[in-house]
Amino acid sequence: MKNAIIYIPGKGGSAKEAEYYRKFFNDDFDIIGFDYKSKNPWDAKVEFSNYFDSIISKYNKIILIANSLGAYFTLISLADKKIEKAMLTSPIVDMERLILDMMISENVSKEELRIKKEIETSFGEILSWEYLTYVIKDTINWNIPTEVLYGENDTLTSIDTINNFVKKTNANLTIMSGGEHWFHTKEQMEFLDKWFKRYI
């Protein structure tokens, strides 16, 4: 049986980005981009679980690569699946904290959001009471061997939040000095490549 690399993009990303990682693996591995449709965590839990259940039996082992929001959906959906290892880049690991930080920046209180149900932010995101109350209750319980790549200047996840996550899950953390949430510059991609080669 072959092995599989499953790539899970972040918000606005594409499953086609999976091809970037082909250079790291030989022909024993299928490289698969997961083109999920879910926008909410409760939908992602069903979609991600069903997708992995449909392919796990076809492969000897599965390694995950997930970015940002895709990593968050992975963490809440796939903890009980037969996954060899996870490589997470700029993962969202505390959605409650992220939403509360956005509310603070927009001067929106919990009470206001509870009454209005949804509030559009100045930066185009929708604050949702349903989403917030769901993520408060749905905590991450993750014990799959995991490597995390984090940019020092990530504006979505603080260093304290990422440290809490790696401590709780026994993940290994690599921090790029001056790195951002979105790894895209030549220097950042070179750093990502070195990290990936070292820990895969």
- What pLDDT sits at residue 4? 98
Residue 112: C-alpha distances to residues 53, 151, 176 (Å): 40, 33, 38
Structure tokens, 85: 């290892």
Mean pLDDT (10-residue bins), the chain, 200 residues = 97 97 97 98 98 96 98 98 98 98 97 98 96 96 98 97 98 98 98 97
Please check whether residue 78 is in contact with residue 88, taking contact to mean a CB–CB distance below 8 angstroms.
Answer: no
pTM of structure: 0.96
Which phi and psi angles does 87 have, rounded to 5°?
-115, 110
Using alpha carbons, select from 2, 19, 193 the residue that is nearest to residue 89.
193
pLDDT attached to residue 8: 98
Q: Which H/E stretch holds residue 192?
A: helix 186-199
Question: What are the residues facing 68 on neighbouring strands?
Answer: none
In the numeric block, the tokens 């490289």 are attached to: 31
pLDDT at res. 39: 96
pLDDT number for residue 148: 98
**pLDDT confidence of residue 159:** 97
CA distance 13 to 92: 15
Residue 150: what pLDDT?
98
DSSP-derived secondary structure for 28-63: TEEEEE------SHHHHHHHHHHHHHHHGGG-S-EE
DSSP output for 14-31? -GGGGGGGGGG--TTEEE
